[in-house]
Structure 1
Amino acid sequence: MEFKNKLAKYFKGVDKKDCENVLIIGAHPDDAEFMAYQIISLAYKNEKIGVHVVVLTDGANSPRSGSYSSYTGEMMIGARLEEQLNAMKVGEYSSLFMLNYTSSEIKNVDERAKDDLITIIKTLKPTSIYMHNPFDKHPTHLGALKTTMSALRSIDLSFVNKVFGCEVWQSLEWLNLEDKVSGDTSLYHEELFIPLVNCFVSQIKGGKNYDQALIGRWKANATFHDSHSVDLFSHISFMCDLTNVAKKEITLDEYVKNIINRFNNKIIEGIK
């Protein structure tokens, strides 16, 4: 596989024969684990599902403190690559693609990144894709969303069943019930989640309490998901279904406006 970005790297992981491929496309190292643990845990020890992870940026601009406060951008790139490789081993991924674009390139929807994604998607032919969602407040995540969606809308996706937008920066709990998809994140916490998230030591020890924040979000999602039913899971993450956008049945603008209009109408109706 050849990439437009000559800094891109491919790493082969666990070889699962005749499995269903799923693809996670994240902006930074650690985004895949934080936003798509639901599918990573489902595929763990499961020979029928192979997880493939794409990381779009090099992670050079991450916040840092403590022992990482003096790290240069190049040093952070190296540290975060090592962390992501450790996560691949812990999570037993089938492959990892580190495309190594800068955040500014992804925010500006670099055509090379789009082409690299097209190459990966056509090669893997995943049945489901997990990506960033259009309601995320992180500028690079929105750039990743636009880059990924541009790639998806450029090719025949007859092999894809579902495309999900996942929550990271800004929760999706506010979506109307009919507009959000629940993902079970309660599996293998001791065996998988804790070792997986602890791979990203530069982020957690560098000043961001992601491990506890994720558990708190998932627990809150599970309990406050539906006021008229008992909790079905102890932890869940929320997603939105972007399949019809990816398959060009509707534009991204139309999709977002429809979601917001339905939310607006429900709120207005409730206070009449």
Structure 2
Amino acid sequence: MLLAMLVWSVDSDAARGEPVSTVVQMPEKSSALVTDGLESDLPILKICGFDWAPYSYHEGSATVGVLIDLLKRAELNHELQFNFMPLQRCLAAVRQGYQDMILYSSTPHDQLVMVDTVVQYHVSGVIVGSQSKHQSFEGLTQFSGETLGVLRGNPIFQSLKHYQGIQWELQNTGKSMWQMLMRGRLDAAIGDYLSVTPLEVYRQGDVRFLQPALYVVPIRMAVNISKAQLVPGLNQRLAQMLEKGTVDHLYRRHGVEPFSRVQTMVDEFHQRQREKTQKARDMAESP
């Protein structure tokens, strides 16, 4: 379900309700972008993902992003090629061996070997305009009588729509949803911290992500089983870059808060979840 969430959050084809094929056809000519634009004798590592700033996106003719930069620094001894495609197509391509690595995966799949070191989280929650009266997220009941935007097909909506008194505005694309929020036609929107909302909107302080988040899930890179030998070294290099602050530097370089701050948010979220679980157990056991 979480993979489906990512499809609907960032893939415009899926957001419009168009079917995304999981049967991968080999292209006659690759549209991959080579990282350095130079010929190399190194073996090619074909990496697929999609336009999801700040993690992977296009800047002019270049493929850039936090994950792109991390892989370039990971010393994989391969020539890196990046292909953008819908998430389910990318997943199918890696499982079938047409692509070697997927940038975004949240659950194990057959034929895939997951990279254990986490350098990205999918943090979903409520985003409001800077003038909103809401300063924190205490529960959806605080939005009774208000209009909230959510992307059409977003699986999280199934668990939210039963809240009474909220008018839900289903949007086909993230862009249209954020435009409505900025124009005051929405009181809030369900979105992903840092990534779905246009980055410049965050930089300008026009929107706020209410704490705590609705849910958090780690996103991992994964490789086809034929490339499993790359995973131990990649895990080690990513862990080293976390420890040395390289990951934080790259987050800042791409215009967002450092990963360590996101990690703190995630740790606090899990602590609150543990406290809620313990409180529920104590209440259930009390006479």
TM-score surpassing 0.5?
no
More strand by share: 2
- For the pair shown, the structure with the greater C-alpha radius of gyration is 2
More helix by share: 1
